[in-house]
C-alpha cells in the first residue's frame, strides 16, 4: 500500500516530550489523518464511521438509562414509564436508545451489503470480515437482551419463544434452556441476568470493533473497483477527504435518526409492548423487532423445531465462510455481469424474508418463506462457488486512478492535491 508523507510534527515542548515517551498522537495521526484511503470510495464506505458513532451513542445513552432502570419483574415496566414521564429528559434518552438500536441495525445491514457487493471479505480481509460477523452476532444478542428489559408483553413472549428454541437441541437442550431462564420459566431472575449481560455486551462489541479497525488498517480499505492501491496517486490521505465525506454522511444520517426520535419514536416498535408482561396471556401474534425478521422467517419456514433453529443460526454462521465460498478472482460485483443478478436477487430475498417474518406463519406466507430461505442458502452454497468459476468478468481498469478518470472524473480537489504532492 502506498503511503503519504507523515504530517505529524509535534510543535510545542509538551507534545515533543510526550512523543519521545508515548507516541500515541503520532500513531493516531498515522492511522486517522495520513492513512492512505482509496480515492474512489463512495458513500457506502461511510457506514463504518456511522456505526462507530452509533456504538458510542448506545453506550452513553444506555449508561444513563441504567441509572434509572429497575431490573426486577415487579418494577421493570413501570421504571421504563417513569423514565419516559418523570426523569428529566428521560423521554429523549429512552427514544435515543430505542430508536438507536434500529438505526444501528439499519447501518450494519448496509455496511454488510456493501462488503458483500464489493467483495470486501476476500483476501486479505478475511479476518476483518470474520470479526465483523462476530460483531453482528454480538449486536443481535445485545438487541435481543435489551428488548427483553422493557418487560412488556412482546418482550416477555419474545424471550419465551427464543429461549425455548434451545430446548430443541438433543440431550443438552432442556438443561440449556433452564440455565438461561435461571429457573423453570421466564421470570424476574431471567430479567436480572439479561440486564447484566445487556450492560456488558456493548463493551465486548467495543473491544471487537477495535480489533476490526486494527485489522482494516493492516490490510487497507477495499474500494468500488476491488483493486489494490498500487501507486500514491491511487489514494488520498484520510483527512480531510474521507473524514469530510464521513462527516457529511453522518450529518444526513443524524437527521433521519433525529426525525424518528422526535416525531415517530414508537413507529418501529410494537403496540403490545405497551402492555405489562403477563405470563398468563399470550399475544395472538408474537413478532421480534424488524431487524430480526429475516432470520425469524427462516426459523418458521422449517417444519421441524430443531431444523428451524439450525437453519436460523446456520444462515448467520454461513457468512463467516464467504471468503472461501466465493471462488471468483475478481472482488467487485461491478465487474461480474452474471453474479450481479444473483446478488440483487439475494438482497431482494432478504428483504422479502423480512416482510414475511412479520406476517402470520400460515398459507402462502409460509410457502414464500420456504422459497426465499431456499434461495438464501442456495446463493451461498451453490451459486457463489459455481458462478465464480464459470463467469468471465468484465475488463478491469488498470488502476484505481484509471477508474476515477475513465469514469468521467475530471479535476477534483483530491486529484489536484495528489498532483501537487507528486510535483513536490
Summarize as ranges the residues that interact with ligand HEM (CB under 6 A): 45, 47-49, 51-52, 55, 108, 111-112, 115, 118, 120-121, 125, 128-129, 132-133, 135-136, 205, 209, 212-213, 216, 221-222
**Do residues 55 and 209 lie in contact, with contact meaning Cβ atoms separated by under 8 Å?**
yes
DSSP string, 222-242: --TT-PPP-SGGGEEEIIIII
- CB nearer to ligand HEM: pick between 222 and 373: 222
Q: Is 230 or 305 the residue whose CB approaches ligand HEM more closely?
A: 230
Closest approach, Cβ 139 to ligand HEM, in A, equals 6
CB of 253 to ligand HEM, least distance (A): 12
Pick between residue 110 and residue 345 the one whose CB is nearest to ligand HEM.
110
Minimal distance, residue 255 CB to ligand HEM, in Å: 19
Of 205, 47, 192, give the one whose Cα is nearest residue 137: 205
Nearer to ligand HEM by Cβ, of 97 and 125: the residue is 125
Please, what is the minimum distance in Å from the beta carbon of residue 411 to ligand HEM? 26
For the record, the C-alpha cell of 217 comes out as 488498517
Nearer to ligand HEM, 212 or 359 (CB): 212
Q: Which is nearer to ligand HEM, 76 or 216 (CB)?
A: 216
Shortest Cβ 138–ligand HEM spacing (Å): 8
- Concatenated DSSP letters of 147-210: HHHT-BHHHHHHHHHHHHHGGGSTTTHHHHHHHHHTSSSS-HHHHHHHHHHHHHHHHHHHHHHH
E-assigned strand segments in 19-111 = 36-38
How far apart are CB 109 and ligand HEM at their closest, in Å?
A: 9
**Least distance (Å) between residue 360 CB and ligand HEM:** 30
Question: Which segments of 264-336 does DSSP mark as H helices, in order?
Answer: 293-301, 305-317, 322-325
Report the nearest approach of ligand HEM to the CB of residue 197 (Å): 17
Q: How far is CA 391 from the centre of its chain?
A: 30
Q: Which of 201, 199, 161, 200 is CA-nearest to residue 181? A: 161
Instruction: Provide the Cα torsion 121, 122, 126, 130; round to 10°.
Output: 30
Nearest to 39 by CA among 246, 227, 217, 242: 242
Nearer Cβ to ligand HEM, position 35 or 147?
A: 35
Report CA-CA distances (Å) from 417 to 39, 234, 279, 357, 414: 11, 12, 65, 50, 5
Cα R_g (the chain), whole angstroms: 24
Pick the closer one to ligand HEM by CB: 181 or 253.
253
Amino acid at each position: 500500500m502506498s503511503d503519504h508523507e507523515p504530517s505529524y510534527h509535534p510543535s510545542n515542548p509538551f507534545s515533543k516530550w510526550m512523543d519521545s515517551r508515548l507516541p500515541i498522537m503520532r500513531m493516531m495521526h498515522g492511522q486517522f489523518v495520513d492513512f492512505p484511503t482509496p480515492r474512489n470510495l463512495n458513500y457506502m464506505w461511510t457506514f463504518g464511521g456511522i456505526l462507530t458513532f452509533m456504538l458510542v451513542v448506545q453506550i452513553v445513552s444506555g449508561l444513563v438509562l441504567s441509572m434509572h432502570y429497575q431490573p426486577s419483574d415487579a418494577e421493570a415496566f413501570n421504571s421504563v414509564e417513569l423514565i419516559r414521564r418523570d426523569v428529566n429528559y428521560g423521554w429523549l434518552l429512552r427514544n435515543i436508545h430505542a430508536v438507536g438500536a434500529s438505526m444501528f441495525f439499519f447501518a450494519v445491514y448496509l455496511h454488510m451489503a456493501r462488503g458483500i457487493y464489493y467483495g470486501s471479505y476476500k483476501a486479505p480481509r478475511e479476518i476483518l470480515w470474520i470479526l465483523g460477523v462476530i460483531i453482528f452476532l454480538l449486536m443481535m444478542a445485545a438487541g435481543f437482551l435489551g428488548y427483553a428489559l422493557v418487560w412488556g408483553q412482546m418482550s416477555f413472549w419474545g424471550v419465551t419463544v427464543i429461549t425455548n428454541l434451545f430446548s430443541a437441541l438433543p440431550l443438552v437442550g432442556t438443561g440449556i434452556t433452564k440455565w438461561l431462564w435461571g429457573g423453570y420459566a421466564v421470570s424476574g431472575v431471567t430479567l436480572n441476568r439479561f440486564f447484566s449481560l445487556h450492560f456488558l455486551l456493548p463493551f465486548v462489541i467495543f473491544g471487537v470493533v477495535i480489533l476490526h479497525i486494527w485489522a482494516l488498517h493492516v490490510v487497507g480499505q477495499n474500494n468500488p473497483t476491488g483493486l489494490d492501491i498500487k501507486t500514491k496517486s491511487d489514494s488520498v490521505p484520510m483527512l480531510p477527504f474521507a473524514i469530510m465525506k464521513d462527516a457529511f454522511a453522518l450529518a444526513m444520517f443524524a437527521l433521519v435518526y433525529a426525525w424518528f426520535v422526535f416525531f415517530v419514536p414508537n413507529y418501529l416498535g410494537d403496540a403490545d409492548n405497551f402492555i405489562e408482561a403477563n405470563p398468563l396471556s399470550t399475544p395472538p401474534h408474537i413478532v421480534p423487532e424488524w431487524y430480526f425478521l429475516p432470520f425469524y422467517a427462516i426459523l418458521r419456514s422449517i417444519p421441524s423445531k430443531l431444523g428451524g433453529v439450525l437453519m436460523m443460526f446456520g444462515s448467520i454462521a454461513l457468512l463467516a465462510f464467504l471468503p472461501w465460498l466465493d471462488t471468483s478472482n475478481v472482488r467487485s460485483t461491478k465487474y461480474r455481469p452474471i453474479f450481479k443478478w444473483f446478488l440483487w436477487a439475494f438482497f431482494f430475498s432478504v428483504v422479502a424474508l423480512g416482510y414475511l417474518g412479520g406476517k402470520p406463519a400460515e398459507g402462502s406466507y409460509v410457502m414464500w418463506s420456504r422459497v426465499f430461505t431456499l434461495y438464501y442458502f442456495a446463493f451461498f452454497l451453490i451459486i457463489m462457488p459455481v458462478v465464480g468459476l464459470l463467469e468471465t468478468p468484465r475488463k478491469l481498469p488498470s488502476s484505481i486512478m484509471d477508474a476515477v478518470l475513465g469514469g468521467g472524473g475530471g479535476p477534483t480537489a483530491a486529484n489536484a492535491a495528489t498532483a501537487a504532492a507528486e510535483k513536490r
